[in-house]
Structure 1
Amino acid sequence: MSELILRDATRADLSAILAMLAEETIPPDRKADPGDPRYLAAFDAIEADPNQRLIAAELDGRVVGTMQLGFLPGLSFVGSWRGLIEAVRIVGDLRGQRLGERMILWAVDQCRARDCKLVQLTSSASRTDAHRFYARLGFVQSHVGMKLHLRD
């Protein structure tokens, strides 16, 4: 298999990233427009924040995966930092080839390099295959997550 390159995403990657996110989060009758100022503002905010990274996974010149890494300071664990992995996606035609595993292991290494005490992630309750995947990589279900949507 070719080398999977994990790098910080650029604006040029937004179309591919939004397409992966849209597979599960955007209703089929709506399309994610990478030119939408809201996406561009979010991208700019992530890019400007030294504690946030939007990652593009590239294989043979094609963006085939994405995730967001956050680094959170906290008072828990004697003021330790936590790594947060969010929005992990692989393009549909390449799932099952262990690309996600390579991405998560890389992300954990990034958290170690930032001296994080722990790594946490969230996954939608309906994504049972993803839960098994994360458990296989050593993640333990430890909390109950809750959301409060404030607007559309």
Structure 2
Amino acid sequence: MKIRRAIEKDVPEIIKIISDDKLGEKREHFTNPLPKSYLEAFKIIAADNNQELMVVEDENSEIIGTFQLSFIQYLNYCGGLRAQIEVVQVRKDKRGLGIGKQIFQWAIERSKEKNAIILQLTSDKKRPKAIKFYESLGFKASHEGMKLHF
């Protein structure tokens, strides 16, 4: 398994992976060609030094997972840097093989390399298995999150 930064040609496969579940299929639009909004977003992410959109490749160089690691500068915690991991998805046929755990091990080490003081995430309450998985890695539900969709 190899984890590397995503490049533009990876975007269709990333969208295919994140749209292949009950929640993703409701909010993503995997079509050929992809809506331009995905490539525009990728360009913004790729240009931002505080964003790391990653892909996970198997031994055949096939993309089997993805996640985004963001680094957010705060004033609290004495001006501490937070890392936030989101959009963690493993291809449906590769789930249950420990890939998610390897993703988080990598993200934890990367966050420490950047001197982040915390690695945080959000998870939809409709994903109870994911929440149990995060708890097994040591994450704690310490705050109540809220969203305002537009």
Structure-1-length-normalised TM-score: 0.91
Q: How does 1:2-151 map to 2 (within 5 A)?
A: 4-23=1-20, 24-27=23-26, 31-33=30-32, 35-59=34-58, 60-150=60-150
Q: Number of residue pairs matched? A: 147
Secondary structure of the residue aligned to 1:18 is helix
Q: Residue 35 of structure 1: CA displacement? A: 3.4
Q: 1:133 to 1:34 in 2, by over 3 A?
A: farther
Q: Any unmatched runs of 5+ in structure 1?
A: none
Deviations 1:112-144 (A, max 9, x none): 000000100111111100011111111111111
Q: Residue 76 of structure 1: CA displacement? A: 1.4
Deviations 1:9-60 (A, max 9, x none): 01111111101111232339x5345632110110000000000010000002
Matched to 1:56, the amino acid is: V
Structure-2-length-normalised TM-score: 0.92
State whether residues 12 and 30 of structure 2, in contact with CA within 8 Å, keep that contact through their aligned partners in structure 1: no
**Inter-partner Cα distance in structure 2 for 1:88 and 1:147:** 19
Q: 1:74 to 1:32 in 2, by over 3 A?
A: farther
**Inter-partner Cα distance in structure 1 for 2:107 and 2:33:** 25
Q: Any unmatched runs of 5+ in structure 2?
A: none
**Inter-partner Cα distance in structure 1 for 2:125 and 2:46:** 29
State whether residues 14 and 34 of structure 1, in contact with CA within 8 Å, keep that contact through their aligned partners in structure 2: no
- Runs of 4 or more, structure 1, over 6 Å off, are none
